[in-house]
Structure 1
Amino acid sequence: MKFGLAIPNCHGDFADIHLVAEVAYEAEQAGWDGFFVWDHIGDKWGDEVLDPWVMLAAMAMRTRRVRLGTMVTPVTRRRPWKLAREVATLDQLSTGRMILGVGSGGGIEYVNYHEPGETQTHGARMDEALELLSLLWSGERISYEGQYYQIENVRHLPRPIQQPRIPIWVGGVWPNKKPMRRAANWDGVCPIGKGVSMTEQMTPEQAHACFDYVRSQQTSGQASADYACVQWGIMDGKDRGHDAALASVYEEAGANWWIENLSWERGTLQELRPFIRQGPPVRA
Structure 2
Amino acid sequence: MRFGINIPPFTDPARVVGWAREAEASGWDGVFLWDHVQWRPGAAPLDPWVMLGALASVTSTVRLGTLVTPLSRRRPYAVAKQLTTVDRLSVGRAVLGVGLGEPPDRDFADLGEESDPRLRAAMLDEALDVVDQLLRGPTDVDGDHYRVKANLHPRPVQQPRPPIWVAGVAPHRRPLARARRWDGIVPIGRDDHLTPAQLADYLALDGTGASPGWDVVVDPASGVPVQEYADAGATWLVRSVSPTKERWEHQVDALVREGPGTRSG
The answer (yes or no) to whether the contact 1:211–1:229 under 8 Å persists in 2 is: no
CA distance in 2, matches of 1:9, 1:174: 25
**Is it true that 1:261 corresponds to 2:257 in the alignment?**
no
Number of residue pairs matched?
260
Q: Give the 5 Å matches for 1:110-125.
A: 110-116=108-114, 118-125=116-123
Q: How far off its partner does 1:206 sit?
A: 0.6
- 3-state SS, counterpart of residue 213 of structure 1: coil
Q: Distance in 1 between matches of 2:171 and 2:257?
A: 34
1:132-180 CA-to-partner distances (Å, cap 9, x unmatched) read 1110001x2221111111113x101110111111100000100011111
Query: How much has 1:45 moved relative to structure 2?
Result: 4.6
State the AA in 2 paired with 1:281. G
- Taking the aligned partners of 1:43 and 1:34, their CA distance within structure 2 comes to 23
1:4 aligns with 2:1: no
Q: Deviations over 1:199-257 (max 9, x none)?
A: xx111111111223367289xxxx45x1111111243xxxxxxx5x6211111111110
Partners of 2:251 and 2:126 in 1: how far apart? 41
1:282 equivalent in structure 2: 262
CA distance in 2, matches of 1:217, 1:185: 14
SS at the partner of 1:56?
Answer: helix
User: TM-score, normalising length from structure 1?
Assistant: 0.86
Deviations 1:2-44 (A, max 9, x none): 000001122xxxx211011011000000110001110000122
Give the Cα–Cα distance (whole angstroms) in 2 for the partners of residues 213 and 102 of structure 1: 21
| Matched position secondary structure for 2:225 | helix
Change (3 A) 1:254 1:266: farther
Is there any run of 5+ residues in structure 2 with no aligned partner, and where?
none
How far apart are the structure 2 equivalents of 1:259 and 1:210? 18
Instruction: Please give the alpha-carbon distance, in whole angstroms, between the structure 1 residues aligned to 2:42 and 2:181.
Output: 35
Q: List alignment gaps of at least 5 residues for structure 1.
A: 236-242
Q: Which letter does structure 2 place at the counterpart of 1:231?
A: V
CA drift of 1:194 comes to 1.2
The whole-number CA distance in structure 1 between the counterparts of 2:241 and 2:208 is 31
Pairwise CA RMSD of aligned residues? 1.9
Whether 2:131 is the aligned partner of 1:151: answer no
Which region of structure 1 is more displaced relative to structure 2, 265-274 or 48-57? 265-274
Partner residue in 2 for 1:203: 195
Q: Please give the TM-score of this superposition, normalised by the length of structure 2.
A: 0.92
Q: Are 1:137 and 2:117 an aligned pair? A: no
The separation in 2 between residues aligned to 1:227 and 1:86, in whole angstroms, is: 23
1:88 pairs with 84, 88, 91, which one? 84
Deviation readout 1:43-79 (Å, 9 max, x if unpaired) = 2252411111111111111100000111100110101
**In structure 2, which of residues 242, 253, 258 is the aligned counterpart of residue 273 of structure 1?**
253
Q: CA separation of 1:4/1:74 partners in 2, compared to 1, >3 Å: closer, same or farther?
A: same
Q: 1:6 to 1:135 in 2, by over 3 A?
A: same
Give the one of 202, 213, 223 matched to 2:205: 213
Task: Give distance in 2, aligned partners of 1:215 and 1:2.
Answer: 25
Structure 1 partner of 2:16 = 20
Structure 2 Cα separation of the partners of residues 62 and 142 of structure 1: 33
- Tell whether the 8 Å contact from 2:22 to 2:256 is kept in structure 1 after alignment: yes
What is the DSSP-based 3-state SS (H/G/I as helix, E as strand, rest coil) of the residue aligned with 1:195? coil
Closer, same or farther in 2 for the Cα pair 1:270/1:52, shift >3 Å?
same
Higher helix fraction (1 or 2): 1
Task: Give the secondary structure class of the aligned counterpart of 1:68.
Answer: strand
SS in 1 for 2:131: helix
User: What is residue 240 of structure 1 aligned with on the other side?
Assistant: none
What is the match of residue 216 of structure 2? 229
Q: 1:281 to 1:214 in 2, by over 3 A?
A: farther
Within 2, Cα distance between the matches of 1:281 and 1:213?
30
Contact 2:70-2:99 within 8 A present in 1 as well: yes
Q: 1:91 to 1:177 in 2, by over 3 A?
A: same
